[in-house]
Chain A
Amino acid sequence: MGELWRRFLYFINRRQIERELEQEMAAHRAAMADPASFGSTLKLREESNDAWGFGWFDRLHQDLNYASRILRRSPGFTLTAVGVLAFGIGLNVTAFGFLNTAMFRPLPGIDNPHTLMRLTRCGPESSSSNLSYPSYDFYRRHNTAFRSMLAVAGGELTFQETERWRAQFVSSNFFTELGAGPSYGRLEFREPGDIVISAAFLARHFAGDPAILGKSILLNRQAARIIGVAPAEFIGLDPQAPDVWALLEDHPHFFPQSQFLTSTAMQPLHLYGRLAPNTSPQAAEQAVRPIVAERRKQAPTEIWQDEYLPVEPGAYVMQGSFSKIVGPLLLAATLLLLVLLTACANLGNLLLARSVTRERELAIRTAVGATRGRIVRQLMTESIALALLGSAAGLILSAFATKLLVQALDWPAFVDASPDWRVACFAFGAGLLASIAFGLAPALQATRTNPQRAARLRLTLIGAQAAACCILLIISALLLRGLNKAVSDQPGFAFEQSAVIDPDLMGVGRQGKSAQLYFLQLKTRLSQLGGIEATALATIPPLGQRQATTLLPIGIVLINSVDNNYFETMQIPILRGRNFRPGDTDVVILGERAAARLWPGQDPVGKQYTGYRGTEHRTVVGIAANAPIYSPGDPDAMEVYKPIQESDMQHAVLLIRARQLSAIQKAAQQAANEIDSRVIPSLTPMRNGMDRRLRNSRSGALAVSALGVVSLSLAVIGFAGLISFSVTQRTREIGIRLALGASKWQVIRLGLDRLMLPTAIGLTAGIAIAAGLAHLLRSQLYGLSRIDPVSFLAAPAIFLFCALVASTGPLSRAAKVAPSTALRHE
């Protein structure tokens, strides 16, 4: 310890100690009989100081000084290099910044975010993020692993018949457990109908006037009172911040006869827990297992066999089910790293070319006694200096890009995507790695005197760039063509003038016969409206957020319970067999693909269909054309239709197809409300769902295309630069060849010849890797053909074309070489 301390003191007072040592030596020298024999005080002093072990520091200082001088002296090179790096690093930093915001940066206004956990449900065949109130209540009462449990359910409350407020129903401990104190009033639900509003909503809706506190209003035609305003930064646990919070147990107050608190069929709750002190998430997960098993005995229909609740961080934008996003994340990371790789390869080539011009300088340094290690270290210091500059520029670039993106993506206002220390560390870490990637090989090369190997390294780097660029181009071509297909293709069902009316009958407690009656009345009312061509009942609305699936031996199929008007309404042709008939129960209609997979090459009509875990048996009565209503364009989607039963009616929605949807929208909504005044129906055009899906694929395709273009320009610039470099280097040779009668074409071929093989190898490798990645992508985006020949051929062709166009400049320079001047060329 003492030694470290002395070392530290030495480091602090280095300059003074060195001066003292010099004085001491001078005195020694003066005292000697023969002062000349003392030797060089300077050398001695350096050797003495080495005892303290800070020699490296001085050398680093020296190298940095030297590097900065070198970089300043060639501003063109430095700017190019920093620019290239800033792009490569900036892209990765931007992507990491978003990941950081979603996964590592807690939601604002939450106390001890790291101990707040989200619990989701996981079984051998299914997973879900939601559970029912009775199950939550059971877990809460039997909980041993958590200090407390919280539950949240999303919903809407209607103010003055027309205005819809985004609501969240929360457990009574919600605000206290998250550590939010009121900015006005209290955050404690006492009377039925008490609600808390968000600060943003107060500002937006009540002009920021806290006089609204304590006022009685009507929500869903029920008495409600605003008792408090949440703190400004607090948005709860959902990034889509709600306008109001109400008590879970008040759900029946706002939705009379709602079965929210009693039904296990309704599963609207998100479950959270505060870890008890010194409990790990893993331990908590184990402790919850037996409680879930116990609960299954009471609610065997809701709780799956062998179900458990994964415990994952809950106070972040991204909550639970992390395993699901690993695939897309890896893919995105791969594509982004490819851009950085092109940048590094490009820069590596630039450095190699430079080292040729610095041969003389390096030779002098070697001659005066620098070892190879010393020179490599100095060159690496230059690379690291470049990388750090690039990182800083990349960080600035990404801060701007993030700001623009957040605006373009219309993220909720609270999301703070500005860079923090994690992003900065990432940027400089990426820079350091990049400096090794682009700097080490050229540095080692520069200290060797083997031009053959330098040439080989250059060609390898060109190959790597071609490969990386080819992958990005192919992936973006696949995405763009997939998107194009999704836009132009008919999805297989009529959605343009169709809409979904969701009366949420369960919310008002209508089920079975009562729900059926409601729909009957609604259909009658709508038929009187005119302008509606067809109506049908279904449990899963097309292009909505809901989906129901089951696992069959052939894979996951989408289940929908529909009435006999469904196929006519959605204009899905029945290809074989028959439609459902009233009174059908144990029958099933299969989508074409599901049928073909279950019984390849056979007629499926009349066969026995075995559903959920082999416990459900139905007769196949018909085959419908493929209609992937959840993921349009998905070439793997399979549908299974069951006849809708009375017991399904509480979940059902009414689908309508109109001649002109916009003309009847309002009237239809009104009709749905007039039949039962408690019902506040939503009417969603299917077009909206389609647009939302396309928007997602569009931004994905655009992002990857941008990467492709960046990497293409980098690679092409590198390509042209290399040709230009080799033309300059070989001017004399070209001159001799021209003088000896070579044609211009032969000279041009001379410039290209050696690049052909590495480029071809690079492109081939790129195609192979892209084929592998495309396989991964297929499950992420719709309408993508895995081996789309157009994409796979177009991408390398584009690369070659651009590379050739970019090379025309230096090549024509080669062809224009005049033999006489060339021979005089140095």
Chain B
Amino acid sequence: MPFDTVGVPPGTLIMLVLRVLQQGSFHGYAIAQRIHMLSGDVLATEEGSLYPALQKILLKGWATAEWGLSESNRKVRFYKITPAGRKHLAAEIKDYDRVTTAIQSILHPLGS
């Protein structure tokens, strides 16, 4: 693993996965790839946390899974976001924005 990548901050993985799925259906490997790519090669998803997160998403009904063929003609499972997933994502993003704004305002006070 190259030095300039970092792990996904704890608690944000589900949000990131859902955000990726908002753009279309992807399989596990592609989701990890896209997170890496979209984050400008900064965030690396560990498989150890990706699959538990995907199972939780299935359990909560935020996405459904279907078998299909990958670009390399392998049998893979495509995850597809559900309306409930979209709703949850919107709420998560809103919460996350509020928290980051709050953290920003502590780290970089307006006066300084």
Partner-B contacts on A (CB < 8 A): 2-3, 6-7, 10, 20-21, 23-25, 27-28, 30-32, 37-39, 44-45, 47-52
Contacts and interface: CB of A to CB of B under 8 A. Distances in A.
Contacts of A21: 51, 55
Contact of B55 (A28, A31, A39, A48): A48
Contact of B56 (A25, A30, A51): A51
Contacts of B61: 2-3, 6
Contact of B28 (A2, A24, A49): A24
Contacts of A45: 51
B41 interface: no
Contacts of B75: 23, 27
A173 B47 CA distance: 78
A28 B29 contact: yes
A23 B68 CA distance: 12
A412 B86 CA distance: 71
Which applies to chain B's interface (DSSP): helix, strand, loop or mixed? helix
Interface in B44-96: 47-48, 51-52, 54-56, 58-61, 67, 70, 72, 74-77
A48 B51 contact: yes
Contacts of A23: 75
A47 B59 contact: no
Contact of B77 (A7, A20, A37, A48): A20
Contacts of A49: 55
Interface residues of B, number: 23
Contact of B51 (A6, A32, A37, A44): A44
Contacts of B54: 48
A47 B48 contact: yes
Contacts of A37: 1
15 contacts: A6-B58, A20-B67, A23-B75, A25-B28, A27-B29, A27-B74, A27-B75, A28-B27, A31-B29, A39-B47, A44-B47, A48-B51, A49-B55, A50-B52, A52-B55
Interface string B15-32: 000000000000111001
A25 to B, nearest CB: 7
A32 B29 contact: yes
Contacts of B74: 27, 30-31
Contact of B59 (A3, A25, A27): A3
A27 B70 contact: yes
A31 B52 contact: no
Given A6-B58, A48-B54, A52-B59, 20 more contacts: A2-B61, A3-B60, A20-B67, A23-B75, A25-B47, A27-B27, A27-B28, A27-B29, A27-B70, A28-B29, A28-B76, A31-B29, A31-B70, A31-B74, A32-B29, A47-B48, A47-B51, A47-B52, A48-B52, A51-B52
Contact of A51 (B32, B59, B77): B59
A74 to B, nearest CB: 40
A258 to B, nearest CB: 78
A31 B69 CA distance: 13
A273 B43 CA distance: 78
A51 B52 CA distance: 6
Contacts of B72: 31
Interface centre among B1, B27, B48, B55 (most CB of A within 10 A): B55
Contacts of A2: 61
Contacts of B67: 20
B59 A10 contact: yes
Contacts of A52: 55, 59
Interface centre among B47, B60, B67 (most CB of A within 10 A): B47
B55 to A, nearest CB: 4
Contacts of B56: 51
Contacts of B47: 25, 28, 38-39, 44
A37 B46 CA distance: 9
Contacts of B76: 24, 27-28
Contacts of A10: 59
B32 to A, nearest CB: 8
Contacts of A25: 28, 47, 51
A30 B54 CA distance: 19
B20 to A, nearest CB: 15
A44 B47 CA distance: 8
Contacts of B59: 3, 6-7, 10, 51-52
